[in-house]
Structure 1
């Protein structure tokens, strides 16, 4: 069996036309790819961008390959994700993503699943002191991942929205985005999880 081919992207910020135009182009020239993982903010930053975003949610614009996101915050996130969470097709224990629309899946909370033989662990949202429903991970999400890390087996990829603190400690700084070099950037909880999960 051939290894799965995966695309990764950072903050989409609701610019789905731009994102999926690029994905289609890369898929045509270097594909086919099996999936796209989006980390960072998936939803728009401003209400003006919602129309473009909603075209995909309503099906008038198409998503070219299965796309998974963990950045469940931004304009429109609460409305869209609340509706998806209540959809009867999404009820139950679904670590492999709640279907938002055709080819779009929300990786909610935390979990681990297999995608084309690839073991993927994830922690959705950002660290927050408040107990908001979307956009932040909870202590329960962290504890669930810790429990999963004790199970036998390898985790190939660990998806998070925030950089782990200390991510630049042993790396050459030439390929690291400038904002990450700031020592205040990073999440210590994610650093701990990376050490426990040991993704390849």
Structure 2
């Protein structure tokens, strides 16, 4: 049986709203195997940070494996720096850096296989200034081009904007 994937756009840190909707869709049409969030994942204002951090800190559970590429917004540098330094994320990981239980950051660019699907991505916004979070560099684009030259099919390709 083919994997069942949910997709969404800008989350803007509204994880309560997102996962309430995901739970509803999962009950009516699921079960789904994973959720991909494309667009700004982090809040765009500090007043939404407490709700967001409830999930990051494990006070509230994320109901299914969730992958995101919108690595910018309020709180992004702090959360993503912590994920980058976590020993569980050491080494070269194109299949997502674990931020917390069931939440994975697709950093830079890459390609991996999830549930039999080939997934490629380019995370962040284009910038000529190299920053660790929120942007991708020409190196990320070049790496993605090299991946595209490899034989095989890409089932899903995520980028934004």
For residues 128-143 of structure 1, the aligned pairs below 5 Å read: 128-143=127-142
Q: Which runs of 4+ in 1 moved over 4 A?
A: none
Residue-by-residue CA offset, 1:150-188 (whole Å, 9 max, x unaligned): 1110000100011xxxxxxxxxxxxxxxxxxxxxxxxxx
Unpaired segments of 5 or more residues in structure 1?
A: 163-200
Between the aligned partners of 2:44 and 2:119, the Cα distance in structure 1 is 27
The TM-score normalised by the length of structure 1 is 0.80
Q: Which has the higher contact order (CA 8 A, sep 6+)?
A: 2
Residue in 1 that maps onto 2:51: 52
The root-mean-square deviation of aligned C-alpha atoms, in Å, is 0.6
- Rg (Cα) greater in structure: 1
Give me the TM-score of the superposition, normalised by structure 2.
0.99
1:48 match: secondary structure: helix
For structure 2, the 5+ residue unaligned runs are none
1:133 is displaced (CA, Å) by 1.2
Q: CA deviation at 1:13?
A: 0.1
CA distance in 2 between counterparts of 1:53 and 1:160 reads 22
SS in 1 for 2:77: helix
SS at match of 2:78: helix
Distance of 1:156 and 1:106 partners within structure 2? 19
- Number of equivalent positions: 161
Name the structure with the higher strand share: 2
